[in-house]
């Protein structure tokens, strides 16, 4: 067995071990843990693993983390991760994009929500607007892909619970769209996470510190940045779940409240 074959065999074995850890311990085991397991097996640091190898590992890991994962469009690498201070114009940018989307969908009953850090006042974020569209039938792509594509967005990945769109190169990424099923876990968790961060100064500060640390360490690895926050996101979601019970939060109340907020912007 030559060196390349041996390295490939080792990666395969570690990926299996990592997959089992994730099955046993849950989503808290993410991409960073896979990087660390690969590095430990070779007596390296995570930083010693090349960007190309990390990209290849991420492609394999995504199929485990997101069942049904499919890379629809070619991989898009768009430079360094940049976290900036909160911009008060982000809600207005979302509102314009929401209006453009509703014009494309016509009178159809769909939910369009501003999610992610740009939707949380005062929270630093990547300058990319995250939009969540909730549809009745996620599998019926012909009912939403043409409308979203008409605004210049590209279907980038799909999996069992959502579809992901971004604006393709050479334009800088300024917005991304997540389509999920109404009433599903994806919808609930993203709305709950957003609303709890809006309500809790402590959670917002914890998350802000984690984002800064992740951006500093993983500036050249967008997947690394995203999954470096896994444990803190899990912690915040756990607290948010208790908060939801205490405050009688629900998806329906969240949507109604945010609808009023959108109308008064």
**pLDDT tens readout for residues 33-51:** 999 999 999 999 999 999 8
What residue ranges define each of the domains in the chain, with the CATH number in brackets? 3-65 (no CATH), 90-263 (3.30.460.10)
Average pLDDT over residues 227-232: 95
Distances 10 to 6, 24, 37, 88, 163 between C-alpha atoms, Å: 6, 21, 11, 48, 32
**pLDDT tens readout for residues 137-151:** 999 999 999 999 999
**R_g of the chain computed on alpha carbons:** 19
Sign of CA dihedral 73, 94, 111, 181: positive
Average pLDDT over residues 102-126: 94
**pLDDT tens readout for residues 150-209:** 999 999 999 999 999 999 888 888 999 999 999 999 999 999 999 999 999 999 999 999
- What span, in angstroms and rounded, lies between the C-alpha atoms of 102 and 112? 8
User: Whole-model pTM above 0.85?
Assistant: yes
* pLDDT band (50, 70, 90) for residue 6: low
Rounded to 10°, the helix 230-247/201-217 angle is 170
Task: Using DSSP, state whether 28 is helix, strand or coil.
Answer: coil
Contact 165, 91 (CB under 8 A): no
pLDDT of residue 264: 39
Task: Using DSSP, state whether 114 is helix, strand or coil.
Answer: strand
pLDDT of residue 70: 97
pLDDT of residue 204: 98
Of these ranges, 38-52, 99-113, 186-200, 249-263, the one predicted with the greatest mean pLDDT is 186-200
Contact 101, 112 (CB under 8 A): yes
Residue 226: which of 130, 97, 145 has the closest Cα?
Answer: 130
pLDDT of residue 237: 97
pLDDT of residue 14: 95
The residue ranking higher by pLDDT, 257 or 187, is 187
Burial grade of 190 (CB within 10 A; 0-12, 13-18, 19 or more): buried
pLDDT of residue 2: 44
Contact 129, 93 (CB under 8 A): yes
Residue 265 above 50 pLDDT? Answer: no
């Amino acid at each position: 067995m030559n060196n390349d074959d041996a390295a490939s065999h080792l990666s395969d074995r570690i990926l299996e071990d990592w997959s089992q850890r994730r099955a046993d311990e849950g989503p808290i085991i993410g991409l960073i843990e896979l990087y660390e397991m690969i590095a430990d097996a070779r007596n390296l640091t995570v930083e010693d693993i090349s960007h190309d190898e990390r990209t290849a590992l991420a492609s394999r890991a995504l199929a485990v983390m997101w069942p049904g994962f499919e890379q629809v469009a070619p991989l898009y690498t768009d430079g360094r991760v940049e976290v900036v201070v909160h911009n008060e114009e982000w809600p207005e940018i979302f509102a314009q994009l929401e209006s453009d989307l509703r014009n494309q969908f016509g009178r159809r009953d769909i939910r369009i929500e501003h999610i992610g850090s740009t939707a949380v006042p005062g929270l630093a974020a990547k300058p990319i607007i995250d939009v969540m569209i909730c549809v009745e039938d996620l599998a019926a792509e012909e009912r939403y892909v043409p409308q979203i594509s008409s605004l210049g967005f590209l279907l980038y990945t799909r999996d069992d619970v959502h579809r992901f769109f971004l604006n393709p190169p050479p334009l800088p990424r300024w917005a991304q769209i997540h389509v999920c099923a109404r009433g599903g876990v994806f919808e609930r968790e993203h709305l709950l996470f957003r609303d709890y961060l809006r309500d809790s100064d402590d959670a917002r500060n914890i998350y802000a510190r984690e984002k800064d640390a992740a951006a500093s360490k993983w500036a050249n690895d967008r997947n690394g940045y995203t999954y470096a926050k896994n444990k803190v996101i899990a912690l915040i979601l756990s607290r948010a779940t208790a908060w939801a019970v205490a405050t009688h939060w629900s998806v329906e109340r969240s949507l109604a409240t945010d609808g009023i907020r959108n109308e008064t912007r």
